[in-house]
Structure 1
Amino acid sequence: MKQLPTLCLLIFFSCKPTPKTEATSDAEIDPTVYEIWEDFTQVNLAFKDEEMPESWFFHDNQKDADRLAKLVIDGKKRASSGLYKWYEDAGADLPKVGTKHIITNFNGTAQAIIEIVQVDTVPFSEISVAYASLDMGTDVDPLVKWKTAHEAFFKSTLEENGQKFDEDMLVVCETFTTIWPKNP
């Protein structure tokens, strides 16, 4: 997903930016984003005429954004989460199966292309260990790590807007596969 203007930008822990409401200009897109899409379509000719997907990075700081991009490349991170409320407040559609995204590092350099394979809406309190493992990229206490990180982030972000966190809040759970580069 393209980066949103600073005023609208919300990047969540091991998640993605909030639903896009404005376009990013071509001048703001790193040349590697175009290059990775060109490389992908040269090998996968069926996608040659598709529009280049949006590009974005996980999280809100360089260390985590770069770490999470590496987990995507390694095939360990295969999910992303956001609050349903954010989509609703933005008037944005929920993610759709088949949608592709170009994942970048914090500096905008293209790292991988992912494709959404499943979208579910689940109450925060009902997130499963299996899903948490996909989102966090680890099998070591994934649910504890997921809930701790996401609750803290959701609370702080909601509080900035005068809203309160509730464990019954719906989470949009996207599961994806890394389609480029191909893992051996």
Structure 2
Amino acid sequence: MGHEDLPTLELAFPGPERDRGVEAILSGSKTALTGLLEIYEHAGEAVPQAGQRFSVLDSQGRPAVTIELVDVRVVPMKEIDDDYVRAEGRGYSDVAQWRKAHQDFFRSEGVSEFLGHTPVIDDETLVVAERFRVVEPV
């Protein structure tokens, strides 16, 4: 199955944050990503499942890499651990730093605009914790 036949995945919003994420996947340092369950629900999208493949898009909307999900869990934020945080590949020093970055993003103007409100982010907030492997760079 070619890149054009796969569902697409966009990290964050186009720009430096997405570019750093794509770079981290390509370098092998990023093998996990986290989504807010509420975003999936609001968009009417099913939570991804292990075995699914996605074409990850760059900031220009072009396929950059194909990934395959190897583990997907819906968990409260309080269950994210240091091992998962390291797999995010963004250089977080600990769970607290990971959490602050995700709280800021999930409460950002873009996410709030999409949802129609600013979400509550706390220990019980459900996130989609996905681990993946690179299938092939473009």
Q: TM-score range by the shorter chain?
A: 0.7 to 0.9
Tell me if the contact between 1:82 and 1:173 (Cα under 8 Å) persists in the aligned partners: yes
Q: Which runs of 5+ in 1 are unaligned?
A: 1-33, 39-50
Tell me if the contact between 1:115 and 1:179 (Cα under 8 Å) persists in the aligned partners: yes
CA gap of 1:150–1:110, structure 2 versus 1, over 3 A, is same
Give distance in 2, aligned partners of 1:88 and 1:179: 27
Please state if 1:105 is matched with 2:58.
yes
The structure with more strand, counted as a fraction of residues: 2
1:18-52 CA deviation, whole Å, 9 max, x = no partner? Answer: xxxxxxxxxxxxxxxx9xx27xxxxxxxxxxxx81
Tell me if the contact between 1:158 and 1:165 (Cα under 8 Å) persists in the aligned partners: no
CA gap of 1:171–1:103, structure 2 versus 1, over 3 A, is same
Q: How far apart are residue 67 of structure 1 and its match? A: 1.4
- The amino acid of 1:64's aligned partner reads E
Tell me if the contact between 1:56 and 1:108 (Cα under 8 Å) persists in the aligned partners: no
User: Which residue is 1:151 aligned to?
Assistant: 103
Give distance in 1, aligned partners of 2:57 and 2:17: 12
Give distance in 2, aligned partners of 1:148 and 1:165: 10
**Structure 2 counterparts to residues 102-181 of structure 1, below 5 A:** 102-138=55-91, 141-156=93-108, 157-158=111-112, 160-161=116-117, 163-181=119-137
- Over aligned residues, Cα RMSD in angstroms? 2.5
Q: How far apart are residue 167 of structure 1 and its match? A: 2.2
Tell me if the contact between 2:14 and 2:58 (Cα under 8 Å) persists in the aligned partners: no
Does 1 or 2 have the higher relative contact order (CA < 8 Å, sep 6+)? 2
Give distance in 2, aligned partners of 1:162 and 1:115: 31
Give distance in 2, aligned partners of 1:136 and 1:147: 14
Please state if 1:78 is matched with 2:27.
no
Q: Which runs of 5+ in 2 are unaligned?
A: none
- Superposition TM-score, scaled by structure 1 size: 0.64
- Superposition TM-score, scaled by structure 2 size: 0.82
